[in-house]
Structure 1
Amino acid sequence: MSPWHRRLRRLVPLALVPALLLVAPTAWLLLTSAGHVHDRGDDTNATVVVVFGAQLAPGGTQPMPFLRGRLDTATDLFRAGRAKAVLVSGDAHGGSGDEVAVMTRYLVQHGVPERRIVADGYGLDSYDTCRRARDVYGVRRALLVSQAFHLPRAVSLCRGMGIDADGVAARCEGCRTRTLAYNAVREIPAAWKALYDRVSNRPPATSSPASQEITAALHD
């Protein structure tokens, strides 16, 4: 064996260590969400659907394809009787506009009664959405709606907080392949943040008193 091959054999294991460390949190999310991420056709039910917010279209009055797909999927779940209420969680003061106001209006326009919708304008990230769903709105069982690349993180975070959560993959009509690929790659650093948030058990960016809105939406 040549000296070059011997050096290469020594370097390969050294290169694998940082690569494995890089994806370790992603592997943790996949492991802890295993068996709880579903296609839309799966027969999974809960009392509440939680829809994660996302950027709005320019002008701040319409959802972008990511968010529109989540809302359409939530509407389908509600119409099929697989949930009785919808919690829309996002940034009411986001850079692209009031996410939860647009989400609520879209759902109402597509047949979800407004009395069945609860808006949390302080779901600033996935961790805050799960934490506030549990602590503020008393959610204990939920279907989480987002795109497939995001669901392992969302499901793992919510289940780690004691919510009996299953993810339902949202459609994404009009989403470009490179946009989907970019967001999938973004999940690698996002997994590190999710791990930190879970281990540190940090409070949400905005704390609120307990709300009975979900209870009212379920029994109205």
Structure 2
Amino acid sequence: MRRLKKIILFSVIGLVLIIFVILGIEATFQRQTQDLIYKEISEIPHSETVIILGASVHADGKLSPILKDRVDTAIKLYENGIVENFLVTGDHRSDDYNEVAAMTNYLQKNGIDKSLITSDHAGLDTYDSMYRAGRVFNIEDAIVVTQNFHLPRTLFIAQNLGLDYHGFAADQSAYQTEYRLKQREKLANLKALWEVLLKKKPHSLQAFIH
């Protein structure tokens, strides 16, 4: 019985420590990037490129609400003269799933000329997208558009890659999966810290411009 109590005690202590580490990393990301995130569109300085990070796409090619808000926000930045062109980066691991084509098609349907859109078909995760934006597509100055809960991790990665990127939140609506995504983000922070510390190379260093 005494041994069982010790096992339970150590398990509880271990769980508490893990929670503190996860929350500590989240707080660190937020603290280090808070000055890089703009709250109002009027505050954003002119940047050459807006980077749109991919998210889920429906089977018919329709953007999920989260991705639609990201692209709509990027269009708003362009229409306000804040950015000049677009980098769309996302997952295109198979022929029947293509976040990049879906974003590109949506941009064009909303009046964005194809010549202003650069496509990164190998942005398989946030780290790869940031790394490739800077090292493969040579984007030095950019506004990154994604949801507010995702921006600290995104900009922490960019900052540690030596990239001068800022962020603007695409939270234009409430999302049914928002709570789950915020909890997932806490674990994704661990992965991002590990990738930064290891100076990980992305899955691909080819441009794949289509």
Same fold (TM > 0.5): yes
One-letter amino acid of the structure 2 residue matched with residue 195 of structure 1 = L
Other-structure match for 2:193:
195
Other-structure match for 2:4:
none
Q: CA RMSD in A?
A: 2.4
Task: Report which stretch shifted further, 147-156 or 200-209.
Answer: 200-209
* 8 Å Cα contact 2:47/2:142 also seen in 1: yes
* 8 Å Cα contact 1:78/1:112 also seen in 2: no
1:209 to partner: Cα distance? 5.8
Counterpart CA distance in 1 for 2:30 and 2:75 is 27
One-letter amino acid of the structure 2 residue matched with residue 120 of structure 1 = D
Q: 1:210 to 1:173 in 2, by over 3 A?
A: closer
Other-structure match for 2:57:
56
Task: Report which stretch shifted further, 108-117 or 67-76.
Answer: 108-117
Counterpart CA distance in 2 for 1:71 and 1:26 is 26
Counterpart CA distance in 2 for 1:209 and 1:147 is 26
* 8 Å Cα contact 1:40/1:169 also seen in 2: no
| Cα distance per residue 1:107-151 (max 9 Å; x no partner) | 111121110000000000000000000111101111000011101
1:113 matches 2:113: yes
Gaps of 5+ in 2: 1-8
1:210 to partner: Cα distance? 10
What secondary structure, in the 3-state scheme, does the structure 1 residue paired with 2:55 have?
Answer: coil
* 8 Å Cα contact 1:153/1:194 also seen in 2: yes
1:174 to partner: Cα distance? 6.0
Counterpart CA distance in 2 for 1:17 and 1:210 is 43
One-letter amino acid of the structure 2 residue matched with residue 38 of structure 1 = Y
Other-structure match for 2:68:
68
Q: 1:73 to 1:40 in 2, by over 3 A?
A: farther
* 8 Å Cα contact 1:47/1:84 also seen in 2: yes
Other-structure match for 1:26:
26
What secondary structure, in the 3-state scheme, does the structure 2 residue paired with 1:82 have?
Answer: coil
* 8 Å Cα contact 1:135/1:210 also seen in 2: no
Counterpart CA distance in 1 for 2:23 and 2:94 is 30
What secondary structure, in the 3-state scheme, does the structure 2 residue paired with 1:76 have?
Answer: helix
One-letter amino acid of the structure 1 residue matched with residue 54 of structure 2 = G
Gaps of 5+ in 1: 1-9, 214-220
Q: How many residues align?
A: 199
Identity %: 28
Counterpart CA distance in 1 for 2:161 and 2:143 is 15
Other-structure match for 1:98:
98
* 8 Å Cα contact 2:121/2:208 also seen in 1: no
